[in-house]
Chain A
Protein backbone atom coordinates (compact mmCIF):
# COMPACT_ATOMS: atom_id res chain seq x y z
CA UNK A 1 0.00 0.00 0.00
CA UNK A 2 1.29 3.41 -0.94
CA UNK A 3 1.67 5.76 1.98
CA UNK A 4 1.36 9.36 0.88
CA UNK A 5 2.60 12.14 3.18
CA UNK A 6 -0.83 13.39 4.25
CA UNK A 7 -1.85 9.90 5.22
CA UNK A 8 1.34 9.42 7.18
CA UNK A 9 0.72 12.72 8.95
CA UNK A 10 -2.82 11.64 9.82
CA UNK A 11 -1.53 8.37 11.23
CA UNK A 12 1.05 10.23 13.30
CA UNK A 13 -1.71 12.44 14.75
CA UNK A 14 -3.94 9.50 15.53
CA UNK A 15 -1.13 7.60 17.24
CA UNK A 16 -0.19 10.69 19.25
CA UNK A 17 -3.79 11.04 20.45
CA UNK A 18 -3.97 7.36 21.37
CA UNK A 19 -0.68 7.68 23.28
CA UNK A 20 -2.11 10.68 25.11
CA UNK A 21 -4.94 8.45 26.29
CA UNK A 22 -2.94 5.39 27.18
CA UNK A 23 0.27 6.78 28.70
CA UNK A 24 -1.41 8.50 31.70
CA UNK A 25 -3.18 5.24 32.51
CA UNK A 26 0.14 3.47 32.24
CA UNK A 27 1.68 5.86 34.76
CA UNK A 28 -1.20 5.13 37.15
CA UNK A 29 -0.54 1.40 36.93
CA UNK A 30 3.19 1.89 37.26
CA UNK A 31 2.78 4.04 40.37
CA UNK A 32 0.41 1.50 41.86
CA UNK A 33 3.05 -1.20 41.40
CA UNK A 34 5.80 0.88 43.03
CA UNK A 35 6.56 0.36 46.73
CA UNK A 36 5.41 3.45 48.66
CA UNK A 37 8.88 4.45 49.79
CA UNK A 38 10.14 4.46 46.19
CA UNK A 39 7.31 6.48 44.66
CA UNK A 40 9.15 9.77 44.86
CA UNK A 41 12.62 8.56 43.98
CA UNK A 42 11.35 6.59 40.98
CA UNK A 43 8.75 9.10 39.80
CA UNK A 44 10.43 9.53 36.42
CA UNK A 45 10.86 5.83 35.67
CA UNK A 46 8.61 3.89 33.35
CA UNK A 47 8.77 0.74 35.47
CA UNK A 48 9.53 0.32 39.18
CA UNK A 49 12.79 -1.39 40.18
CA UNK A 50 10.97 -3.75 42.51
CA UNK A 51 7.34 -4.01 41.45
CA UNK A 52 4.94 -5.03 44.20
CA UNK A 53 1.27 -5.84 44.59
CA UNK A 54 1.23 -4.66 48.19
CA UNK A 55 -0.45 -1.34 47.39
CA UNK A 56 -3.32 -3.30 45.94
CA UNK A 57 -3.65 -5.62 48.91
CA UNK A 58 -3.42 -2.57 51.18
CA UNK A 59 -6.23 -0.77 49.36
CA UNK A 60 -8.37 -3.88 49.28
CA UNK A 61 -8.08 -4.00 53.06
CA UNK A 62 -6.17 -7.29 53.10
CA UNK A 63 -3.52 -5.99 55.52
CA UNK A 64 -3.95 -4.46 58.98
CA UNK A 65 -3.89 -0.75 59.67
CA UNK A 66 -0.47 -0.95 61.40
CA UNK A 67 1.09 -2.94 58.61
CA UNK A 68 -0.35 -0.52 56.11
CA UNK A 69 1.23 2.43 57.94
CA UNK A 70 4.54 0.59 58.02
CA UNK A 71 4.33 0.15 54.27
CA UNK A 72 4.14 3.88 53.83
CA UNK A 73 0.40 4.39 53.81
CA UNK A 74 -0.86 7.79 54.95
CA UNK A 75 -3.04 6.27 57.67
CA UNK A 76 -6.09 7.06 55.59
CA UNK A 77 -8.20 4.10 54.67
CA UNK A 78 -10.39 3.41 51.73
CA UNK A 79 -12.90 0.60 52.03
CA UNK A 80 -12.59 -0.17 48.40
CA UNK A 81 -14.75 -3.26 48.18
CA UNK A 82 -17.53 -1.72 50.24
CA UNK A 83 -17.49 1.39 48.04
CA UNK A 84 -17.64 -0.77 44.92
CA UNK A 85 -20.56 -2.63 46.44
CA UNK A 86 -22.36 0.64 47.16
CA UNK A 87 -21.67 1.86 43.63
CA UNK A 88 -22.98 -1.36 42.14
CA UNK A 89 -26.14 -1.19 44.22
CA UNK A 90 -26.64 2.53 43.49
CA UNK A 91 -26.18 2.03 39.75
CA UNK A 92 -28.14 -1.21 39.63
CA UNK A 93 -31.22 0.15 41.40
CA UNK A 94 -31.34 3.31 39.32
CA UNK A 95 -30.80 1.57 35.97
CA UNK A 96 -33.41 -1.09 36.66
CA UNK A 97 -36.08 1.31 37.86
CA UNK A 98 -35.34 4.02 35.31
CA UNK A 99 -35.51 1.62 32.38
CA UNK A 100 -38.74 0.15 33.72
CA UNK A 101 -40.56 3.41 34.49
CA UNK A 102 -39.29 5.07 31.30
CA UNK A 103 -40.47 2.23 29.10
CA UNK A 104 -43.88 2.19 30.81
CA UNK A 105 -44.38 5.92 30.34
CA UNK A 106 -42.93 5.88 26.82
CA UNK A 107 -45.40 3.17 25.77
CA UNK A 108 -48.33 5.17 27.12
CA UNK A 109 -47.12 8.27 25.26
CA UNK A 110 -46.53 6.34 22.04
CA UNK A 111 -49.63 4.18 21.87
CA UNK A 112 -52.39 5.06 24.32
CA UNK A 113 -54.81 7.94 24.28
CA UNK A 114 -55.47 9.87 27.44
CA UNK A 115 -56.26 13.46 28.37
CA UNK A 116 -53.22 15.65 28.99
CA UNK A 117 -50.91 13.39 27.00
CA UNK A 118 -49.14 16.06 24.95
CA UNK A 119 -48.77 18.43 27.88
CA UNK A 120 -47.33 15.78 30.17
CA UNK A 121 -44.90 14.57 27.53
CA UNK A 122 -43.79 18.15 26.89
CA UNK A 123 -43.17 18.67 30.61
CA UNK A 124 -41.17 15.46 30.93
CA UNK A 125 -38.98 16.39 27.98
CA UNK A 126 -38.56 19.92 29.35
CA UNK A 127 -37.30 18.44 32.62
CA UNK A 128 -34.11 17.52 30.75
CA UNK A 129 -33.37 21.24 30.42
CA UNK A 130 -33.54 21.98 34.15
CA UNK A 131 -29.93 22.34 35.32
CA UNK A 132 -28.95 20.34 38.37
CA UNK A 133 -28.00 23.47 40.29
CA UNK A 134 -31.64 24.53 40.50
CA UNK A 135 -33.01 21.41 42.13
CA UNK A 136 -30.20 20.20 44.37
CA UNK A 137 -30.95 22.40 47.39
CA UNK A 138 -34.72 21.63 47.60
CA UNK A 139 -33.99 17.96 46.87
CA UNK A 140 -31.37 17.86 49.61
CA UNK A 141 -33.86 19.39 52.06
CA UNK A 142 -36.54 16.89 51.03
CA UNK A 143 -34.20 13.95 51.55
CA UNK A 144 -33.09 15.41 54.88
CA UNK A 145 -36.69 15.90 56.03
CA UNK A 146 -37.50 12.33 55.08
CA UNK A 147 -34.59 11.21 57.28
CA UNK A 148 -32.91 9.66 54.23
CA UNK A 149 -29.47 11.28 54.52
CA UNK A 150 -26.78 8.59 54.36
CA UNK A 151 -29.18 5.98 53.04
CA UNK A 152 -29.35 4.22 49.70
CA UNK A 153 -32.93 5.43 49.34
CA UNK A 154 -31.81 9.04 49.61
CA UNK A 155 -29.08 8.50 47.05
CA UNK A 156 -31.25 6.86 44.39
CA UNK A 157 -34.56 8.72 44.94
CA UNK A 158 -34.10 11.72 42.63
CA UNK A 159 -32.88 9.52 39.75
CA UNK A 160 -34.86 6.34 39.88
CA UNK A 161 -38.43 7.24 38.91
CA UNK A 162 -38.12 9.64 36.01
CA UNK A 163 -35.73 10.15 33.18
CA UNK A 164 -36.77 12.69 30.55
CA UNK A 165 -34.15 11.35 28.20
CA UNK A 166 -35.21 7.73 28.72
CA UNK A 167 -38.88 8.50 28.05
CA UNK A 168 -38.13 10.61 24.99
CA UNK A 169 -35.72 8.07 23.55
CA UNK A 170 -37.91 4.98 24.08
CA UNK A 171 -41.04 6.75 22.81
CA UNK A 172 -39.24 7.56 19.55
CA UNK A 173 -38.40 3.89 19.19
CA UNK A 174 -41.89 2.64 20.08
CA UNK A 175 -43.38 4.99 17.47
CA UNK A 176 -41.13 3.38 14.86
CA UNK A 177 -42.38 -0.16 15.52
CA UNK A 178 -44.97 -1.19 12.90
CA UNK A 179 -48.38 -1.52 14.49
CA UNK A 180 -49.40 -4.71 12.66
CA UNK A 181 -48.30 -7.11 15.36
CA UNK A 182 -49.93 -5.14 18.12
CA UNK A 183 -53.16 -4.75 16.19
CA UNK A 184 -53.36 -8.48 15.59
CA UNK A 185 -53.01 -9.09 19.31
CA UNK A 186 -55.59 -6.42 20.13
CA UNK A 187 -58.07 -8.02 17.72
CA UNK A 188 -57.64 -11.20 19.67
CA UNK A 189 -58.61 -9.30 22.78
CA UNK A 190 -55.23 -8.57 24.40
CA UNK A 191 -55.21 -5.71 26.91
CA UNK A 192 -52.86 -2.72 26.52
CA UNK A 193 -50.69 -4.03 29.34
CA UNK A 194 -50.38 -7.42 27.73
CA UNK A 195 -49.45 -5.87 24.40
CA UNK A 196 -46.80 -3.78 26.13
CA UNK A 197 -45.33 -6.67 28.06
CA UNK A 198 -45.58 -9.44 25.49
CA UNK A 199 -45.02 -7.61 22.19
CA UNK A 200 -43.52 -4.16 22.55
CA UNK A 201 -40.89 -4.87 25.22
CA UNK A 202 -39.50 -8.03 23.58
CA UNK A 203 -39.13 -6.10 20.31
CA UNK A 204 -37.21 -3.37 22.10
CA UNK A 205 -34.26 -5.16 23.65
CA UNK A 206 -31.73 -3.14 21.62
CA UNK A 207 -32.91 0.34 22.67
CA UNK A 208 -33.52 -0.87 26.22
CA UNK A 209 -29.91 -2.07 26.32
CA UNK A 210 -28.71 1.26 24.91
CA UNK A 211 -30.60 3.18 27.59
CA UNK A 212 -29.36 0.85 30.32
CA UNK A 213 -25.79 1.26 29.08
CA UNK A 214 -25.90 5.06 29.01
CA UNK A 215 -27.60 5.25 32.40
CA UNK A 216 -25.09 2.81 33.93
CA UNK A 217 -22.14 4.86 32.71
CA UNK A 218 -23.62 8.11 34.03
CA UNK A 219 -24.65 6.71 37.38
CA UNK A 220 -21.43 4.79 38.00
CA UNK A 221 -19.61 8.10 37.51
CA UNK A 222 -22.06 10.27 39.43
CA UNK A 223 -20.35 12.25 42.18
CA UNK A 224 -22.29 15.41 43.05
CA UNK A 225 -25.49 13.99 44.54
CA UNK A 226 -24.01 11.07 46.54
CA UNK A 227 -21.34 13.51 47.75
CA UNK A 228 -24.08 15.79 49.13
CA UNK A 229 -26.38 13.23 50.74
CA UNK A 230 -24.18 10.25 51.64
CA UNK A 231 -20.81 11.25 53.05
CA UNK A 232 -21.03 8.68 55.81
CA UNK A 233 -18.18 6.24 55.39
CA UNK A 234 -20.34 3.14 55.24
CA UNK A 235 -22.57 4.57 52.52
CA UNK A 236 -19.98 6.15 50.25
CA UNK A 237 -20.05 5.16 46.60
CA UNK A 238 -16.72 4.70 44.84
CA UNK A 239 -16.38 8.28 43.55
CA UNK A 240 -17.07 9.75 46.99
CA UNK A 241 -14.82 7.22 48.74
CA UNK A 242 -11.91 8.05 46.42
CA UNK A 243 -12.41 11.77 46.93
CA UNK A 244 -12.42 11.37 50.69
CA UNK A 245 -9.41 9.01 50.58
CA UNK A 246 -7.55 11.74 48.74
CA UNK A 247 -8.50 14.51 51.12
CA UNK A 248 -7.58 12.60 54.29
CA UNK A 249 -3.85 12.92 54.70
CA UNK A 250 -3.16 12.34 58.40
CA UNK A 251 0.57 12.17 57.73
CA UNK A 252 1.09 15.09 55.41
CA UNK A 253 1.34 14.25 51.75
CA UNK A 254 -1.24 12.06 50.05
CA UNK A 255 -0.58 8.36 49.85
CA UNK A 256 0.09 8.35 46.11
CA UNK A 257 0.89 4.69 45.65
CA UNK A 258 -2.28 3.73 47.53
CA UNK A 259 -4.36 6.28 45.64
CA UNK A 260 -3.07 5.09 42.30
CA UNK A 261 -3.70 1.46 43.26
CA UNK A 262 -7.29 2.41 44.08
CA UNK A 263 -7.54 4.39 40.84
CA UNK A 264 -6.18 1.50 38.80
CA UNK A 265 -8.66 -0.87 40.44
CA UNK A 266 -11.48 1.57 39.73
CA UNK A 267 -10.59 1.59 36.03
CA UNK A 268 -10.95 -2.19 35.85
CA UNK A 269 -14.79 -2.29 35.69
CA UNK A 270 -14.67 0.18 32.80
CA UNK A 271 -12.17 -1.97 30.94
CA UNK A 272 -14.31 -5.05 31.54
CA UNK A 273 -17.36 -3.20 30.21
CA UNK A 274 -15.46 -2.13 27.08
CA UNK A 275 -14.05 -5.61 26.59
CA UNK A 276 -17.42 -7.33 26.88
CA UNK A 277 -19.71 -4.79 25.23
CA UNK A 278 -17.33 -2.49 23.35
CA UNK A 279 -19.45 -2.13 20.25
CA UNK A 280 -22.65 -1.53 22.21
CA UNK A 281 -20.95 1.08 24.42
CA UNK A 282 -19.52 2.97 21.45
CA UNK A 283 -22.80 2.85 19.55
CA UNK A 284 -24.85 3.89 22.58
CA UNK A 285 -22.65 6.88 23.30
CA UNK A 286 -22.61 7.89 19.63
CA UNK A 287 -26.35 7.52 19.51
CA UNK A 288 -26.87 9.87 22.43
CA UNK A 289 -25.58 12.68 20.23
CA UNK A 290 -27.56 12.00 17.09
CA UNK A 291 -31.06 13.03 18.06
Chain B
Protein backbone atom coordinates (compact mmCIF):
# COMPACT_ATOMS: atom_id res chain seq x y z
CA UNK B 1 0.00 0.00 0.00
CA UNK B 2 1.34 3.40 -0.89
CA UNK B 3 1.83 6.02 1.79
CA UNK B 4 -1.05 8.42 2.01
CA UNK B 5 -0.05 11.93 1.02
CA UNK B 6 -1.48 14.42 3.49
CA UNK B 7 -3.98 16.47 1.54
CA UNK B 8 -3.44 20.17 1.86
CA UNK B 9 -6.15 21.83 3.84
CA UNK B 10 -7.99 22.57 0.64
CA UNK B 11 -11.16 23.53 2.37
CA UNK B 12 -9.39 26.24 4.28
CA UNK B 13 -10.49 27.28 7.72
CA UNK B 14 -13.65 25.19 7.65
CA UNK B 15 -11.97 22.28 9.43
CA UNK B 16 -15.03 21.45 11.46
CA UNK B 17 -17.22 21.31 8.42
CA UNK B 18 -14.65 19.18 6.61
CA UNK B 19 -14.48 16.70 9.48
CA UNK B 20 -18.25 16.51 9.74
CA UNK B 21 -18.66 15.98 6.01
CA UNK B 22 -15.98 13.29 6.06
CA UNK B 23 -17.69 11.38 8.87
CA UNK B 24 -21.00 11.72 7.07
CA UNK B 25 -19.48 10.22 3.94
CA UNK B 26 -17.79 7.36 5.78
CA UNK B 27 -20.75 6.62 8.04
CA UNK B 28 -22.70 4.10 5.89
CA UNK B 29 -19.56 2.05 5.27
CA UNK B 30 -18.65 2.31 8.93
CA UNK B 31 -22.07 1.00 9.97
CA UNK B 32 -21.66 -1.89 7.54
CA UNK B 33 -18.19 -2.59 8.84
CA UNK B 34 -19.21 -2.61 12.50
CA UNK B 35 -22.45 -4.57 12.04
CA UNK B 36 -21.28 -7.20 9.57
CA UNK B 37 -17.51 -7.52 10.05
CA UNK B 38 -16.14 -6.25 13.36
CA UNK B 39 -18.95 -7.19 15.69
CA UNK B 40 -19.57 -10.63 14.10
CA UNK B 41 -15.84 -11.38 14.25
CA UNK B 42 -15.93 -10.63 17.97
CA UNK B 43 -19.20 -12.55 18.41
CA UNK B 44 -17.70 -15.56 16.62
CA UNK B 45 -14.95 -15.76 19.24
CA UNK B 46 -17.53 -15.42 22.00
CA UNK B 47 -19.90 -18.02 20.58
CA UNK B 48 -17.01 -20.45 20.11
CA UNK B 49 -16.58 -20.43 23.90
CA UNK B 50 -20.19 -21.51 24.55
CA UNK B 51 -22.39 -24.54 23.93
CA UNK B 52 -25.07 -22.51 22.19
CA UNK B 53 -27.63 -24.47 20.15
CA UNK B 54 -30.07 -21.62 19.30
CA UNK B 55 -32.78 -23.23 21.46
CA UNK B 56 -31.71 -22.39 24.99
CA UNK B 57 -29.45 -19.83 26.61
CA UNK B 58 -25.78 -20.43 25.87
CA UNK B 59 -23.52 -21.72 28.65
CA UNK B 60 -19.93 -20.62 28.94
CA UNK B 61 -17.76 -23.68 28.36
CA UNK B 62 -14.34 -22.09 28.05
CA UNK B 63 -12.08 -23.87 25.61
CA UNK B 64 -14.10 -27.10 25.59
CA UNK B 65 -15.06 -26.74 21.94
CA UNK B 66 -11.44 -26.33 20.95
CA UNK B 67 -10.41 -29.35 23.01
CA UNK B 68 -13.21 -31.39 21.46
CA UNK B 69 -12.24 -30.27 17.98
CA UNK B 70 -8.68 -31.39 18.60
CA UNK B 71 -9.92 -34.94 19.10
CA UNK B 72 -12.64 -34.86 16.42
CA UNK B 73 -11.60 -37.16 13.62
CA UNK B 74 -14.22 -35.71 11.29
CA UNK B 75 -12.87 -32.20 11.75
CA UNK B 76 -9.37 -33.30 10.78
CA UNK B 77 -10.78 -35.39 7.96
CA UNK B 78 -12.55 -32.25 6.67
CA UNK B 79 -9.35 -30.20 6.90
CA UNK B 80 -7.51 -32.98 5.12
CA UNK B 81 -10.10 -33.19 2.35
CA UNK B 82 -9.97 -29.41 1.84
CA UNK B 83 -6.18 -29.61 1.71
CA UNK B 84 -6.37 -32.44 -0.84
CA UNK B 85 -8.83 -30.41 -2.83
CA UNK B 86 -6.40 -27.47 -2.89
CA UNK B 87 -3.60 -29.83 -3.88
CA UNK B 88 -5.65 -31.14 -6.82
CA UNK B 89 -7.05 -27.81 -7.82
CA UNK B 90 -4.40 -25.10 -7.54
CA UNK B 91 -1.33 -26.55 -9.28
CA UNK B 92 -3.34 -27.70 -12.30
CA UNK B 93 -5.33 -24.49 -12.51
CA UNK B 94 -2.22 -22.32 -12.25
CA UNK B 95 -0.16 -24.31 -14.75
CA UNK B 96 -2.98 -24.60 -17.28
CA UNK B 97 -3.89 -20.93 -16.85
CA UNK B 98 -0.29 -19.87 -17.33
CA UNK B 99 0.08 -22.08 -20.37
CA UNK B 100 -3.11 -20.73 -21.90
CA UNK B 101 -1.95 -17.18 -21.18
CA UNK B 102 1.39 -17.72 -22.95
CA UNK B 103 -0.39 -19.26 -25.93
CA UNK B 104 -2.89 -16.40 -26.08
CA UNK B 105 -0.12 -13.83 -25.75
CA UNK B 106 1.52 -15.29 -28.84
CA UNK B 107 -1.41 -15.93 -31.08
CA UNK B 108 -4.60 -14.24 -30.46
CA UNK B 109 -5.49 -11.21 -28.51
CA UNK B 110 -8.92 -10.88 -29.97
CA UNK B 111 -11.66 -9.90 -27.60
CA UNK B 112 -13.79 -12.79 -28.81
CA UNK B 113 -11.26 -15.38 -27.66
CA UNK B 114 -10.79 -13.63 -24.32
CA UNK B 115 -14.55 -13.57 -23.80
CA UNK B 116 -14.91 -17.28 -24.56
CA UNK B 117 -12.01 -18.10 -22.24
CA UNK B 118 -13.59 -16.08 -19.43
CA UNK B 119 -17.11 -17.43 -19.93
CA UNK B 120 -16.98 -20.35 -17.45
CA UNK B 121 -15.89 -18.02 -14.65
CA UNK B 122 -18.93 -15.84 -15.25
CA UNK B 123 -21.26 -18.79 -14.60
CA UNK B 124 -22.14 -19.45 -10.97
CA UNK B 125 -20.69 -22.43 -9.12
CA UNK B 126 -24.21 -23.81 -8.99
CA UNK B 127 -24.69 -23.68 -12.75
CA UNK B 128 -21.29 -25.18 -13.39
CA UNK B 129 -21.95 -27.99 -10.91
CA UNK B 130 -25.33 -28.77 -12.53
CA UNK B 131 -23.84 -28.86 -16.02
CA UNK B 132 -21.08 -31.24 -15.02
CA UNK B 133 -23.38 -33.41 -12.93
CA UNK B 134 -25.21 -34.15 -16.13
CA UNK B 135 -22.13 -34.40 -18.38
CA UNK B 136 -20.41 -36.72 -15.88
CA UNK B 137 -23.50 -38.75 -14.98
CA UNK B 138 -22.21 -42.28 -14.29
CA UNK B 139 -24.73 -43.98 -16.54
CA UNK B 140 -25.85 -41.54 -19.18
CA UNK B 141 -23.51 -38.60 -19.18
CA UNK B 142 -21.90 -37.50 -22.42
CA UNK B 143 -18.40 -37.94 -21.06
CA UNK B 144 -19.03 -41.57 -20.17
CA UNK B 145 -20.48 -42.20 -23.61
CA UNK B 146 -17.19 -40.88 -25.00
CA UNK B 147 -15.07 -42.91 -22.59
CA UNK B 148 -16.94 -46.12 -23.37
CA UNK B 149 -16.62 -45.50 -27.08
CA UNK B 150 -12.88 -44.86 -26.76
CA UNK B 151 -12.37 -48.08 -24.80
CA UNK B 152 -11.37 -46.44 -21.51
CA UNK B 153 -14.63 -47.49 -19.94
CA UNK B 154 -17.13 -46.01 -17.51
CA UNK B 155 -16.06 -43.80 -14.66
CA UNK B 156 -18.29 -43.00 -11.66
CA UNK B 157 -16.93 -39.42 -11.25
CA UNK B 158 -19.05 -37.61 -8.62
CA UNK B 159 -20.57 -40.94 -7.56
CA UNK B 160 -17.27 -42.69 -6.90
CA UNK B 161 -15.75 -42.59 -3.46
CA UNK B 162 -12.21 -42.30 -4.78
CA UNK B 163 -13.02 -39.92 -7.63
CA UNK B 164 -15.57 -37.50 -6.24
CA UNK B 165 -13.19 -34.97 -4.71
CA UNK B 166 -10.90 -34.96 -7.73
CA UNK B 167 -13.97 -34.50 -9.92
CA UNK B 168 -15.07 -31.48 -7.88
CA UNK B 169 -11.54 -30.10 -8.30
CA UNK B 170 -11.56 -30.74 -12.05
CA UNK B 171 -14.89 -28.98 -12.46
CA UNK B 172 -13.53 -25.94 -10.63
CA UNK B 173 -10.37 -26.00 -12.73
CA UNK B 174 -12.68 -25.79 -15.73
CA UNK B 175 -14.41 -22.77 -14.22
CA UNK B 176 -11.28 -20.88 -13.14
CA UNK B 177 -8.70 -21.70 -15.78
CA UNK B 178 -9.73 -18.87 -18.07
CA UNK B 179 -9.78 -16.33 -15.26
CA UNK B 180 -6.25 -17.31 -14.22
CA UNK B 181 -5.17 -17.15 -17.87
CA UNK B 182 -6.51 -13.61 -18.26
CA UNK B 183 -4.80 -12.46 -15.05
CA UNK B 184 -1.49 -13.89 -16.27
CA UNK B 185 -2.08 -12.44 -19.73
CA UNK B 186 -2.39 -8.95 -18.25
CA UNK B 187 0.89 -9.56 -16.41
CA UNK B 188 2.59 -10.90 -19.54
CA UNK B 189 1.66 -7.81 -21.49
CA UNK B 190 3.46 -5.66 -18.93
CA UNK B 191 6.77 -7.37 -19.62
CA UNK B 192 8.82 -5.20 -21.97
CA UNK B 193 9.38 -6.87 -25.33
CA UNK B 194 13.01 -5.74 -25.55
CA UNK B 195 13.91 -8.25 -22.87
CA UNK B 196 12.92 -11.05 -25.22
CA UNK B 197 14.67 -9.42 -28.16
CA UNK B 198 17.83 -9.15 -26.09
CA UNK B 199 17.43 -12.76 -25.02
CA UNK B 200 16.98 -13.89 -28.62
CA UNK B 201 20.13 -11.99 -29.67
CA UNK B 202 22.07 -13.81 -26.99
CA UNK B 203 20.81 -17.07 -28.43
CA UNK B 204 18.49 -18.04 -25.59
CA UNK B 205 15.87 -20.68 -26.41
CA UNK B 206 12.16 -20.08 -25.88
CA UNK B 207 12.24 -22.40 -22.90
CA UNK B 208 15.15 -20.53 -21.29
CA UNK B 209 13.43 -17.21 -21.84
CA UNK B 210 10.27 -18.53 -20.21
CA UNK B 211 12.20 -19.60 -17.08
CA UNK B 212 14.59 -16.66 -16.94
CA UNK B 213 12.40 -13.75 -18.03
CA UNK B 214 8.70 -14.55 -18.10
CA UNK B 215 8.29 -16.49 -14.89
CA UNK B 216 10.35 -14.20 -12.59
CA UNK B 217 8.63 -11.10 -13.92
CA UNK B 218 5.20 -12.64 -13.41
CA UNK B 219 5.85 -13.05 -9.70
CA UNK B 220 3.50 -10.28 -8.49
CA UNK B 221 0.61 -11.76 -10.48
CA UNK B 222 1.60 -15.23 -9.30
CA UNK B 223 1.49 -14.12 -5.66
CA UNK B 224 -1.93 -12.57 -6.14
CA UNK B 225 -3.29 -15.64 -7.92
CA UNK B 226 -1.85 -18.06 -5.38
CA UNK B 227 -2.84 -16.18 -2.23
CA UNK B 228 -6.41 -15.51 -3.31
CA UNK B 229 -7.00 -18.84 -5.00
CA UNK B 230 -5.54 -21.01 -2.23
CA UNK B 231 -7.46 -19.36 0.60
CA UNK B 232 -10.56 -19.23 -1.59
CA UNK B 233 -10.36 -22.83 -2.64
CA UNK B 234 -9.63 -24.07 0.87
CA UNK B 235 -13.10 -22.75 1.66
CA UNK B 236 -14.71 -24.77 -1.15
CA UNK B 237 -18.42 -25.26 -0.47
CA UNK B 238 -20.81 -24.38 -3.31
CA UNK B 239 -19.84 -27.10 -5.75
CA UNK B 240 -19.86 -29.73 -3.01
CA UNK B 241 -23.26 -28.58 -1.76
CA UNK B 242 -24.79 -28.93 -5.22
CA UNK B 243 -22.94 -31.87 -6.72
CA UNK B 244 -22.28 -34.34 -3.90
CA UNK B 245 -23.56 -32.90 -0.63
CA UNK B 246 -20.53 -34.36 1.10
CA UNK B 247 -20.93 -37.88 -0.28
CA UNK B 248 -20.45 -40.54 -1.43
CA UNK B 249 -19.50 -42.03 1.94
CA UNK B 250 -18.40 -38.60 3.22
CA UNK B 251 -15.58 -38.58 0.68
CA UNK B 252 -16.22 -34.92 -0.18
CA UNK B 253 -17.19 -33.61 3.24
CA UNK B 254 -14.71 -30.73 3.14
CA UNK B 255 -14.22 -28.56 6.19
CA UNK B 256 -16.69 -25.78 5.34
CA UNK B 257 -19.34 -28.38 4.57
CA UNK B 258 -18.74 -29.95 7.97
CA UNK B 259 -18.94 -26.55 9.68
CA UNK B 260 -22.19 -25.65 7.92
CA UNK B 261 -23.60 -29.07 8.78
CA UNK B 262 -22.76 -28.59 12.47
CA UNK B 263 -24.27 -25.11 12.50
CA UNK B 264 -27.44 -25.63 10.49
CA UNK B 265 -28.26 -29.34 10.75
CA UNK B 266 -27.11 -30.04 14.31
CA UNK B 267 -27.45 -26.43 15.58
CA UNK B 268 -24.07 -26.68 17.32
CA UNK B 269 -23.31 -22.99 16.96
CA UNK B 270 -20.53 -23.01 19.55
CA UNK B 271 -18.73 -25.96 18.07
CA UNK B 272 -19.14 -24.69 14.49
CA UNK B 273 -17.75 -21.29 15.52
CA UNK B 274 -14.74 -22.89 17.18
CA UNK B 275 -14.04 -24.75 13.93
CA UNK B 276 -14.46 -21.51 11.95
CA UNK B 277 -11.97 -19.71 14.16
CA UNK B 278 -9.46 -22.52 13.77
CA UNK B 279 -9.88 -22.50 10.01
CA UNK B 280 -9.47 -18.72 9.97
CA UNK B 281 -6.24 -19.00 11.95
CA UNK B 282 -4.88 -21.50 9.44
CA UNK B 283 -5.79 -19.16 6.56
CA UNK B 284 -4.09 -16.18 8.19
CA UNK B 285 -0.94 -18.18 8.95
CA UNK B 286 -0.88 -19.42 5.39
CA UNK B 287 -1.26 -15.91 3.94
CA UNK B 288 1.53 -14.47 6.09
CA UNK B 289 3.83 -17.37 5.26
CA UNK B 290 3.12 -17.13 1.56
CA UNK B 291 3.74 -13.38 1.48
CA UNK B 292 7.06 -13.95 3.22
CA UNK B 293 8.18 -16.75 0.94
CA UNK B 294 7.17 -15.11 -2.30
CA UNK B 295 8.33 -11.65 -1.21
CA UNK B 296 5.00 -10.27 -2.30
CA UNK B 297 5.54 -6.53 -2.18
CA UNK B 298 8.64 -6.43 -4.31
CA UNK B 299 8.36 -5.98 -8.02
CA UNK B 300 11.28 -6.90 -10.26
CA UNK B 301 10.20 -4.44 -12.93
CA UNK B 302 10.31 -1.46 -10.63
Contact = CB atoms under 8 A, between A and B. Distances in A.
B249 interface: no
A118 interface: yes
**Interface residues of B, dominant DSSP:** helix
A203 interface: no
Contacts, number: 296
B169 interface: no
Nearest to B189: A286
A242 B130 contact: yes
A281 B118 contact: yes
Contact of A246 (B6, B15, B149, B242): B242
B11 A131 contact: no
A80 interface: no
B187 interface: yes
B225 A223 contact: no
Please indicate which of the listed interface residues A107, A110, A243 has the most CB atoms of chain B within 10 Å of its own CB: A243
Q: How large is the interface on A (under 10, 10 to 19, 20 to 34, 35 or more residues)?
A: 35 or more
B41 A130 contact: yes
A24 B221 contact: no
B47 A263 contact: no
Contacts of A199: none
Interface stretch (A48-56, A68-76, A153-161): A153-161
Contact of B28 (A107, A114, A161): A161
Contact of A129 (B18, B115, B272, B284): B284
A224 B183 contact: no
Contacts of B33: 123-124, 127, 161-162
B286 to A, nearest CB: 11
Contact of A131 (B135, B182, B231): B231
Contacts of A81: none
A260 B26 CA distance: 45
B124 A21 contact: no
Please indicate which of the listed interface residues B10, B22, B264 has the most CB atoms of chain A within 10 Å of its own CB: B22
A51 B100 CA distance: 36
A17 interface: yes
Contacts of A11: 107
Contacts of B149: 44
B227 to A, nearest CB: 10
Contact of B124 (A108, A118, A221): A221
A206 interface: no
Interface string A240-260: 101100110000000010011
A263 B125 contact: no
Given A111-B10, A133-B259, A137-B272, A192 B130 contact: no
B278 to A, nearest CB: 10
A196 B24 CA distance: 13
A132 interface: yes
A285 B179 contact: yes
B125 A112 contact: no
Contacts of B194: none
Interface string B192-229: 00000000000000100000000000000100110000
Interface string B117-149: 111111111110011111101001110011001
A118 B113 contact: no
Contacts of A259: 130, 134
A162 B32 contact: yes
A209 interface: no
A137 B44 contact: yes
Contacts of A115: 19
B114 to A, nearest CB: 5
A243 B242 contact: yes
A13 B103 contact: yes
Given A256-B134, A267-B127, A243 B21 contact: no
B65 interface: no
Interface string A65-103: 000000000000000000000000000000000001110
**Which 10 interchain pairs have the tightest Cβ spacing?**
A161-B32, A162-B32, A138-B40, A221-B124, A289-B183, A44-B145, A138-B43, A112-B22, A114-B22, A105-B29
Interface of B: 1, 4-7, 9-12, 15, 17-19, 21-23, 25-26, 28-33, 35-41, 43-44, 47, 54, 99-100, 103-104, 106-108, 111-127, 130-135, 137, 140-142, 145-146, 149, 174, 177-179, 182-183, 185-187, 206, 221, 224-225, 231, 235, 237-238, 241-242, 245, 256, 259-260, 263-264, 269, 272-273, 276-277, 279-280, 283-284, 287
8 contacts: A13-B100, A115-B19, A131-B283, A133-B256, A137-B47, A139-B36, A191-B21, A289-B187
